[in-house]
Amino acid sequence: RVQHDGTARLAIPPGGSAAGALDFARRQSRWLERQLRHQIMAQQREPAWRLGTEIFFRGELVKLQAAAEPGVSAVRFGDQLAPVDHCATDLRLSVERRLWQLATRELTLRTHELAALHGLLIHRVVVRNQRTRWGSCSARGVISLNWRLIQTPPWVRDYIILHELAHLRHPNHSRRFWCAVEAACPEFERAEQWLKEHERLLVWH
């Protein structure tokens, strides 16, 4: 599968081997090259973010609007303001910067809240620009989260956090792990479905 960042991800089926997977990838190299070219062309055609552009924010589509405050050079989305250069023709960088700031604050706070609720100890929370995953949990208890979770509904965000917290007790995807996830988040399958359906509508580059 070709990822959003231009890399290719190859899944090895049960009973398969790394050597067989690499051989398959080599035989599919022309197909991969075509897919990458198509992706690059699509990104080049991607329009700039301007006033009126819609983005996902906390699970809702919101429009980028000019701030109503006089003397303020900013763009509004939802209940937030993102400072912008008055000469900017593309608002994307400014809005993404604000989204990242919000994600760092809110995801960190929510992770600590959920960890305390479930009696779990974490070392720290890191918010990153992960390209192929929503989160991860290290053996040292470091929870890493994708900043794009600020674009998802709160219940989807919580599922990802609870998923990673469950790895503190179950560092695998065993049956016990999924039982722990379901106990903490009964709607986890619905959350995964939301991510599958909306992944390409979020900010990826």
Residues 85-141 pLDDT 10s: 877 778 888 999 999 999 999 999 999 999 999 999 999 999 998 878 999 999 999
Please report, for the chain, the start and end positions of each structural domain, with discontinuous segments joined by +. 1-46, 54-92, 96-201
pLDDT over 90 percentage in the chain: 59
Q: How far apart are CA 112 and CA 87, in angstroms?
A: 40
Pairing state of beta strands 142-146 and 135-137? antiparallel
Q: Chain-wide mean pLDDT for the chain? A: 87
Superfamily name and number for 96-201: Metalloproteases ("zincins"), catalytic domain (3.30.2010.10)
What pLDDT was estimated at residue 199? 86
| Residue 185 exposed, middle or buried by CB count within 10 Å (0-12, 13-18, 19+) | buried
pLDDT at 1 over 80: no
Cβ proximity of 184 and 159 under 8 Å: no
pLDDT at 46 over 70: no
Cα 45-50-52 angle, rounded to 5 deg: 115
Secondary structure (3-state) at 161: helix
| Per-residue model confidence as pLDDT tens digits over 149-173 | 999 999 999 999 999 999 999 999 9
Cα 99-105-110 angle, rounded to 5 deg: 115
pLDDT at 205 over 80: no
| Per-residue model confidence as pLDDT tens digits over 4-33 | 445 666 777 777 787 887 887 788 787 777
| Global confidence as pTM | 0.74
